[in-house]
Amino acid sequence: MSKINPISGFPEFLPSDRIVEQHFLDVIRETFELHGFASIETRAVEPVERLSNQGEDADKEIYGIRRLAATADDDSGANLGLHFDLTVPFARYVLEHSGKLAFPFRRYQIQKVWRGERPQEGRYREFTQADIDIVDSGELPNHYEVELPLVIADALRKLPVPEFVIKVNNRKIPEGFYRGLGLDDVTTVLRIVDKIDKIGPDKVVERLVEAGATDKQAKLAVQLADISSTDTSFVEQVRALGVEHPTLDEGLEQLGAVMAAAAEHAPGLLMADLRIARGLDYYTGAVYEIYLVGQESFGSVGGGGRYDALASDGRTTYPGVGISIGVSRLVHRLISLGLLKGSRSTPTAVLIALTAEEDRAEAMRTAAALRQRGIPVEVAPAAAKFGKQIKFADRRGIPFVWFSTDNGPEVKDIRSGEQVPADPATWTPPGEDVRPQIEALEENS
C-alpha cells in the first residue's frame, strides 16, 4: 500500500474535536434562526467570470474545475470555479430566485468554501463559513448595519469563545478622504493601507509614494488609518485632519449612526477602526472584522460588510449587508491553543456489554428502548470479559456500561465505580452525560 501524504490546507478533525466544531455549528444555526434568518444552500461552483474581479487577488485564488477525461473540445465544465466565499453565490441566488423571495430577505448559509492560497496557521484552502445576510429590493435601510453585528455577538456569546470585539468602518470614509486628498485611485490606496498591520506604517507610506502619492498625502492616509474609538469621537478626529469631501461626510454620518445605535444596544461591542477596509471590492458601506481580544495578530475570525451593487439584473438592484463567522478558523485556533476539547470522542453515552454472543438480541432490544428516549447507545462489538469491555468504553470516553446480571440489568458509571439496578424503560443518565460536552478553560467557559 502506498504511503498516505497529507495535503496542507485541507484540515480534518479527530472525532473529539469534530464534536467541538459541531457544537459551534449547532449554536450558530440555532441563533441565526432565532433572529429570523432562513437557511439556504448554494451550489459549490459558479462561472469563473462571476467569481473573478472581486479584489483580494481573487482571480489567483479561484479553483477551476474540469473533468479529468475531458478532451480539448469538451467545454462541459469550462469556466466553472469553486466559490471562494458565500456572498458572491448568494447574490447570484437572489437574482435567480428574486420572483420567489420575500424582501427584505434574511438568509443564513453554512457551507464549505475554497481558496487557492498558501496554507498557514488559520488560513486554509478548504474551510467552513457561517454567513448571515439581509438583502432588499431597491433600497436597504441602514439600521441593518447595526442589527447584523448584534446577531453575530449573540451567537458568539453562547459559545466558549474568549472576549472578542467587532471592528467596524465605512468604505465611504477612506474613499472620500482619499479623493479629498486628490488620490483618485481609491482601490490601489485601500489595498496598500490594508497591509499596515503586516508591513507597518513607514512601509505603507513608501508604497503609497511609489504608487504616485506625495509624502504629505501618504502620511495623512496613514493618520486616518490610526484613528479608532468605541464611541462617535472618531468623527472629530477625522475632521481634525482637515480633509473635506461629500463622500467622506456621508461615510462619517453613516458610521456615526451605527456606533451610536450600538452604544445603546450593546455598549463596547463595536469599535470604530478606520484601518478596516476588507479586501473584496464589492463592499460599498459598512465593513466589519471580528477579532479575539489579545490575539489580534492572528487576524480576524470573521467579517463582512455592505454591498449595494453586487446583485443587479439591470432593472432592479438588490443591496445587502452581511457578516460571516470563519468557523474552521475560529475552532482550529481555540483547539490548537488547548482552550477547548470534547468531553469524549463519541456521542455514545451507554455501552451495552455482552457476556455471550447469544445475548446480542436482548442487548439490541435494550439499546432500542434507550434510544427511543433519546439516549445514545451502542452494543459491544463482541462478547468479552467485563474488564475488557469497560476498558473499551473508557478509551472512547463512554461514561456508562450496561450489564445483565443474575439480579437483572444494572448500569455502571465507570468514572466513579457506582453500579445500580436499571430499567431500560425508565433509567436516564444525568443531563450532562447524555451528549458530549465542550470542555473549556475556566476563564473562557
CATH 3.40.50.720 is held by the domain 15-341: no
In the predicted model, what is the mean pLDDT of residues 187-191? 88
107 has binding-site annotation: no
123 has binding-site annotation: no
373 has binding-site annotation: no
Same fold, 15-341 and 350-442: no
User: Which residues have CB under 8 Å from 295's CB, separation 6+?
Assistant: 162, 333
* 64-77 per-position pLDDT tens digit: 888 887 776 666 55
The band of 263, judged by pLDDT with boundaries at 50, 70 and 90, is confident
**pTM for this model (two decimals):** 0.90
* 133-143 per-position pLDDT tens digit: 999 999 999 89
State the cell numbers at 248: 467622506
* 113-130 per-position pLDDT tens digit: 999 888 888 789 999 999
282 has binding-site annotation: yes
87 has binding-site annotation: yes
**Strand-pair partners of 287:** 169, 305
Domain ranges of the chain: 15-341, 350-442
Coil vs helix vs strand at 133? strand
187 has binding-site annotation: no
63 has binding-site annotation: no
129 has binding-site annotation: yes
| Alpha carbon distance 169, 289 (integer Å) | 9
Q: Which helix (H) or strand (E) element contains residue 32?
A: helix 15-34
CATH architecture for the domain at 350-442: 3-Layer(aba) Sandwich (3.40)
Phi and psi angles of residue 162, each rounded to the nearest 5 degrees, phi first: -60, 175
283 has binding-site annotation: yes
